[in-house]
């Protein structure tokens, strides 16, 4: 494995984060129905109190509302909080200057001088790898972010990003990708292995599979809104995996399914960033930290997850 660079070491020392897509989003998460700014403030405060001090947002979450809320919450706490946001490659954004301009706009919403991690949200066929990586390197050179990363990059694109950034003497800090007990593509396509080899932190998004792994949804009680239509194949097959997660959680003093799902991603070597709409969810998720599933339990969970995804 490549030695982890000193600039990105803080990410490897971070075991769990908090996702902030829910904060202001009405398309998938129905912000304003059942939860609002006060509930997400409490989710932030509960996470920070439990030692979760890394928050992931993006300029597109709630059209900037997520960044604004996070900026307010960070100002209200006396604890240090690590902040990550993302650049969205909109079709009219071309040259490397677009990255510095977009990050400055994010910083204005966050009401901050700089952040800890700036990520490219999705790869784009319209912007070359050289331009993307030059744009990210410029953000570091301008003192706007401590480190840079990518998101939704497959293994070959990620390695190309790593090598291109290296020409600017900048380490690729992270790749944020979908990873949960119900989506293990990154294990199978080599992304996780390449991350480990190159010292890139794999940040696991949707680690609770948008709520499915908590055990509260079923065919008879699907998730609300657009999420209700996202899992036609998974919902009917979840039963045996959820049952095993509950059994294993009980052997660890009553850990919930959410806590087992999050601990599983940590044991795989990833940094999960579960989204939370309120303090109760944030508190429960923080309980995914501070203990370890055994190798034998991991093997049983892998087998049960394979059975759901392959059946």
Nearer to ligand NAP, 54 or 162 (CB): 54
Burial annotation 82-95 (CB, 10 A radius, 16+ → b, else e): bbbbbbebeeebee
The residue with tokens 């979760």 is 52
239's CB contacts (< 8 A; 6+ apart) are none
Strands 271-272 and 201-205: parallel
Separation between Cα atoms, residue 171 and residue 298, nearest integer Å: 31
- Candidates 175, 183, 258, 263; binder of ligand NAP (CB under 6 A) is 258
Using CB under 6 A, which of the segments 89-97, 158-166, 194-202, 272-280 binds ligand NAP?
A: 272-280
Nearer to ligand NAP, 3 or 220 (CB): 220
Q: Which residue numbers are catalytic?
A: 61
Nearer to ligand NAP, 134 or 209 (CB): 209
With CA atoms as reference, report the closest residue to 257 among 266, 265, 247: 247
Please tell me what DSSP assigns to residue 254: S
Instruction: Note whether 305 binds ligand NAP by CB under 6 A.
Output: no
Instruction: Note whether 263 binds ligand NAP by CB under 6 A.
Output: no
DSSP string, 134-174: HHHHHHHHTTSEEEEEEES--HHHHHHHHHHHHTTT--EEE
Nearer to ligand NAP, 223 or 269 (CB): 223
Instruction: Note whether 47 binds ligand NAP by CB under 6 A.
Output: no
With CA atoms as reference, report the closest residue to 94 among 121, 130, 131: 131
Separation between Cα atoms, residue 309 and residue 186, nearest integer Å: 14
Angle in degrees, CA 27, 151, 58, rounded to 5: 45
Separation between Cα atoms, residue 100 and residue 119, nearest integer Å: 12
How many C-beta atoms lie closer than 10 Å to residue 23's C-beta? 31
Instruction: Note whether 151 binds ligand NAP by CB under 6 A.
Output: yes
To ligand NAP, the closest distance from the beta carbon of 27 in angstroms equals 12
Instruction: Note whether 275 binds ligand NAP by CB under 6 A.
Output: yes
Instruction: Note whether 274 binds ligand NAP by CB under 6 A.
Output: yes
Separation between Cα atoms, residue 46 and residue 280, nearest integer Å: 8
- Candidates 16, 200, 270, 276; binder of ligand NAP (CB under 6 A) is 276
- Candidates 50, 67, 138, 209; binder of ligand NAP (CB under 6 A) is 209
Please tell me what DSSP assigns to residue 275: B
Separation between Cα atoms, residue 81 and residue 232, nearest integer Å: 38
Are 260 and 305 in contact by the 8 Å Cβ rule? The answer is no
To ligand NAP, the closest distance from the beta carbon of 119 in angstroms equals 7
Q: Which residue is nearest to ligand NAP (CB)?
A: 19
Q: Hey, which residues between 5 and 24 contact ligand NAP (CB under 6 A)?
A: 19-22
Instruction: Note whether 176 binds ligand NAP by CB under 6 A.
Output: yes
To ligand NAP, the closest distance from the beta carbon of 197 in angstroms equals 22
Using CB under 6 A, which of the segments 233-241, 244-252, 276-284, 291-299 binds ligand NAP?
A: 276-284
Instruction: Note whether 285 binds ligand NAP by CB under 6 A.
Output: yes
Nearer to ligand NAP, 95 or 254 (CB): 254
Instruction: Note whether 208 binds ligand NAP by CB under 6 A.
Output: yes
* Residues lying near ligand NAP in the complex (CB under 6 A): 19-22, 29, 56, 121, 151-152, 176, 205-211, 214, 216, 223, 258, 273-277, 281, 284-285
């Amino acid at each position: 494995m490549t030695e982890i660079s000193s600039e990105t070491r803080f990410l490897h020392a971070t075991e769990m984060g908090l996702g902030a897509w829910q904060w202001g989003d009405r398309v998938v998460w129905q912000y304003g129905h059942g939860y609002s700014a006060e509930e997400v403030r409490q989710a932030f405060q509960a996470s920070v109190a439990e030692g979760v001090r890394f928050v992931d947002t993006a300029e597109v979450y709630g059209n900037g509302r997520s960044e604004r809320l996070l900026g307010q919450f960070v100002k209200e706490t006396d604890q240090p909080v690590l902040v990550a946001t993302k650049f969205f490659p909109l079709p009219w954004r071309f040259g490397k200057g677009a990255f510095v301009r977009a990050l400055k706009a994010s910083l204005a919403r966050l009401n901050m001088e700089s952040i800890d991690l700036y990520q490219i949200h999705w790869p784009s066929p319209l912007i070359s790898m050289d331009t993307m990586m030059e744009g990210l390197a410029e953000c570091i050179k301008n003192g706007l972010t401590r480190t840079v990363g990518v998101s939704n990059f497959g293994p070959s694109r990620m390695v190309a990003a790593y090598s291109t950034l290296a020409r600017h003497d900048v380490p690729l800090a992270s790749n944020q990708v979908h990873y949960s007990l119900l989506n293990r593509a990154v294990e199978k396509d080599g992304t996780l292995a390449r991350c480990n080899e190159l010292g890139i932190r794999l940040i696991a998004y949707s680690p609770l599979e948008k709520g499915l792994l908590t055990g509260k949804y079923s065919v008879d009680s699907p998730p609300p809104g657009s999420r209700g239509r996202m899992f036609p194949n998974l919902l009917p097959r979840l039963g045996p995996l959820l049952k095993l997660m509950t059994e294993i959680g009980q052997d660890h003093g009553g850990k919930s399914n959410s806590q087992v799902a999050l601990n599983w991603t940590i044991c795989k070597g990833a940094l999960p960033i579960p989204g939370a709409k309120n303090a109760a969810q944030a508190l429960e998720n923080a309980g995914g930290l501070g203990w370890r599933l055994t190798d034998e339990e991991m093997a049983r969970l892998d087998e049960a997850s394979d059975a759901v995804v392959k059946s």
